[in-house]
Amino acid sequence: DAKTTQPNSMESNEEEPVHLPCNHSTISGTDYIHWYRQLPSQGPEYVIHGLTSNVNNRMASLAIAEDRKSSTLILHRATLRDAAVYYCILRGYNAGNNRKLIWGLGTSLAVNP
């Protein structure tokens, strides 16, 4: 199974950077690392994804370890609107296997004003 491990909760102050870690030691060579976040009373929304290289977009940056067994989502300047549950999952090619996607509980991020 494609399992990831994240801390249950983290806290940050507004306008400070936040580093959200994720371990995925069972990642296979063709798995993409995806991050989603879920705001209160909404469905999860896409944040960023990557394969091997670090990635940046308007929402966040994704730093991927050289061995790909861990990654870190970076919010450069946290705002109150970034308070959400952040999920790290693996999406990949594994022909013929019945891989069960496991989301887990994610990391609940609190942002203090």
Partner 1 sequence: KAGVTQTPRYLIKTRGQQVTLSCSPISGHRSVSWYQQTPGQGLQFLFEYFSETQRNKGNFPGRFSGRQFSNSRSEMNVSTLELGDSALYLCASSLFPGDQGSSGNTIYFGEGSWLTVV
Q: Toward partner 1, which CB reaches closer, 70 or 107?
A: 107
Closer Cβ to partner 1, 98 or 113, answer by number: 98
The residue length of the chain stands at: 113
The type of residue at 22 is C
In angstroms, give the least distance from the CB of 17 to partner 1: 25
Rounded to the nearest whole angstrom, what is the least distance from the CB of residue 60 to partner 1 in the complex?
A: 14
Q: 21, 20, 23, 19: which is closest to 4 by C-alpha?
A: 23
21 Cα distance to chain centroid: 7
Helix (H, G, I), strand (E, B) or coil at 37: strand
Q: Where does this chain bind partner 1 (CB under 8 A)?
A: 30-32, 34, 36, 42-46, 49, 51, 87, 91-95, 97-106
